[in-house]
């Protein structure tokens, strides 16, 4: 059914299928300029056409077509000959199994301006079941690229793309169908290896309450709620909104509860620590550590 039909029926915004190409988006916008167009730009891709996958509904009664998919396309499958159902053949690509239905993740960072120029008003990123770190990073990078799209240097885009490749879990990236190319999958791995780990989040930078006692930092200190290990001299990056990254190597870790100096702290301890840093850091900035 065409977007024109939906426009004539009174629909004001249409979310385009992931298989729509850039040229088709331009054409749709030309024909129905008053309809707002939204498109998916970053995250897990389906191996099926939009709305044509029933794996999740079939296996666990959670429908992908109602936004409730548990991604069984990433599960392990066997090959069964119809007359020998009790003799499943393993399909082996490598030691962890095979990923015959495993699409790479969509990444349209390099095409943000093209999409907006083509008439897209809403860019959708995948956030369901993702960590705070994932969301901070993807939102920060795309916000930066969208706001600076008219004059951002190619070098900066290349840098941001590398950050997405190397510092956040991903299945390898593809531009999907937007450039009218065929879909891309990785049959050897489910995830790329990354060597950075989310380790903490900045909480109220001036003051925090522990056991009903209010603590204040001086202007060179920030409070961190610890999520994973932080050690003295670790290579740490603090991501502040709009993807500005500040690098630090802690020389002192202070337990906020009792002022004790620590050499390391772990996520399971549910601690709040104070780090010394000579900058104002907004609340909810996230920290990652090189592992």
Contact residues toward ligand SF4 (CB under 6 A) are 46-48, 53, 55-56, 64, 69, 71-73
Q: Which is nearer to ligand SF4, 72 or 267 (CB)?
A: 72
Which two tokens mark 248?
């630090």
CA pair distance 226, 27, nearest whole angstrom: 49
CB of 61 to ligand SF4, least distance (A): 13
CA-based nearest residue to 229, from 284, 289, 169:
289
CB of 46 to ligand SF4, least distance (A): 3
CB distance 94 to 33 below 8 Å: no
Q: Which is nearer to ligand SF4, 91 or 146 (CB)?
A: 91
Q: Which is nearer to ligand SF4, 129 or 153 (CB)?
A: 129
Those residues whose C-beta lies under 8 Å from the C-beta of residue 105, and which sit 6 or more positions away, are: 42, 43, 44, 45, 170, 171, 172, 173, 174
CB of 193 to ligand SF4, least distance (A): 22
Which two tokens mark 35?
């309809």
What region, left, alpha or beta, does residue 180 occupy, with left being phi > 0 and alpha being psi -120 to 50 degrees? left
- Burial of 35-72, coded b for 16+ CB within 10 Å and e otherwise, reads bebebbbbbbbbebeeeebebbbeeeeeebeeeebeeb
Give CA separation, 106 vs 1, 25, 42, 44, 180, in Å: 25, 17, 5, 6, 14
Q: Which is nearer to ligand SF4, 100 or 210 (CB)?
A: 100
Q: Which is nearer to ligand SF4, 70 or 232 (CB)?
A: 70
CB of 74 to ligand SF4, least distance (A): 7
Q: Which is nearer to ligand SF4, 190 or 204 (CB)?
A: 190
CA pair distance 3, 16, nearest whole angstrom: 9
CB of 54 to ligand SF4, least distance (A): 8
CB of 250 to ligand SF4, least distance (A): 40
Return the residue matching tokens 């793309």.
Answer: 161
Q: Is the dihedral of CA 41, 46, 48, 53 positive or negative?
A: negative
CB of 37 to ligand SF4, least distance (A): 22
Q: Which is nearer to ligand SF4, 108 or 157 (CB)?
A: 108
């Amino acid at each position: 059914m065409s977007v024109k039909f939906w426009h004539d029926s009174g629909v004001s915004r249409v979310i385009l299928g992931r298989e729509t190409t850039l040229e088709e988006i331009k054409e749709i916008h030309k024909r129905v300029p008053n309809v707002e167009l939204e498109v998916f730009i970053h995250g897990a891709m389906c191996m099926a056409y939009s709305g044509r996958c029933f794996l999740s509904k079939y296996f666990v009664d959670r429908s992908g077509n109602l936004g409730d998919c548990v991604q069984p396309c990433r599960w392990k499958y066997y090959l069964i000959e119809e007359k020998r159902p009790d003799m499943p053949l393993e399909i082996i690509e490598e030691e962890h199994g095979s990923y015959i239905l495993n699409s790479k993740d969509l990444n349209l960072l390099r095409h943000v301006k093209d999409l907006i120029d083509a008439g897209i008003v809403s860019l959708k990123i995948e956030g369901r079941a993702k960590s705070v770190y994932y969301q901070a990073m993807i939102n920060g990078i795309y916000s930066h690229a969208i706001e600076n799209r008219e004059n951002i240097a190619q070098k900066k885009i290349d840098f941001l793309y590398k950050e997405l490749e190397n510092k956040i879990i991903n299945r390898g990236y593809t531009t999907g169908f937007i450039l009218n190319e065929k879909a891309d999958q990785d049959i050897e791995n489910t995830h790329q290896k990354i060597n950075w780990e989310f380790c903490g989040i900045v909480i109220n930078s001036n003051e925090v309450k522990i056991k009903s006692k209010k603590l204040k930092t001086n202007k060179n200190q920030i409070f961190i709620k610890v999520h994973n290990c932080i050690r003295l001299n670790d290579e740490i990056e603090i991501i502040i909104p709009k993807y500005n990254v500040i690098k630090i190597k802690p020389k002192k870790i202070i337990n906020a509860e009792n002022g004790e100096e620590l050499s390391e702290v772990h996520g399971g301890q549910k601690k709040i620590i104070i780090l010394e840093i000579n900058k104002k850091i907004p609340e909810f900035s996230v920290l990652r550590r090189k592992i």
